[in-house]
């Protein structure tokens, strides 16, 4: 029950297939997940979003598992079911152990709690935290 029809590889035009091919090649995988098949409704957004995911999620100053865990944390705060599932799976593939996941959950729960408390009381930011 999406708002668009998922576009399968065999029904896709050459520009969409090129993105699907690059997703599979980059991941060393033989399938494409539903997010991209939905986004294919608008090829420019498909192409640019994939380019950005590919660039941003590659290991750099932060390693892959840290990036995936950050993704999970944001997705939980925003309650994006699709993203929670896909990036929790991604974090596990990148090496997140059960113990790491347990601590991730604890931090996410705590952060949402204190975010609400600080917002509820409108606590002023201490001068010492300012950069400029």
Write down the least CB distance from residue 25 to its own copies, Å: 18
Nearest to 51 by CA among 26, 31, 30, 75: 26
Shortest CB 87 distance to its own copies, Å: 8
Task: Tell me the three state secondary structure of residue 125.
Answer: coil
CA atoms within 13 A on the CB side of 109: 6
Look at residues 86, 29, 94 and name the one whose alpha carbon lies nearest to residue 62.
94
Measured from the CB atom, the residue of 19 and 69 that comes closer to its own copies is 69
Q: Beta-carbon neighbour count of residue 19 at 10 Å?
A: 21
Distance in Å, CB of 51 to its own copies, minimum: 9
């Amino acid at each position: 029950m999406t708002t668009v029809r998922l576009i399968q590889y065999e029904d896709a035009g050459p520009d969409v297939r090129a993105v699907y091919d690059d997703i599979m090649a980059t991941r060393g995988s033989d399938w494409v997940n539903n997010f991209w098949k939905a986004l294919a409704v608008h090829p420019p957004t498909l192409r640019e979003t994939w380019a950005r995911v590919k660039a941003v999620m590659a290991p750099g100053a932060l390693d892959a598992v840290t990036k995936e865990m950050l993704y999970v944390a944001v997705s939980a705060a925003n309650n994006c079911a699709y993203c929670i599932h896909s990036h929790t799976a991604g974090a596990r593939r990148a090496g997140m152990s059960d113990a790491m996941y347990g601590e991730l959950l604890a931090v996410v729960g705590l952060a949402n709690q204190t975010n609400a408390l600080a917002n509820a009381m409108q606590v002023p930011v201490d001068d010492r935290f300012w950069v400029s």
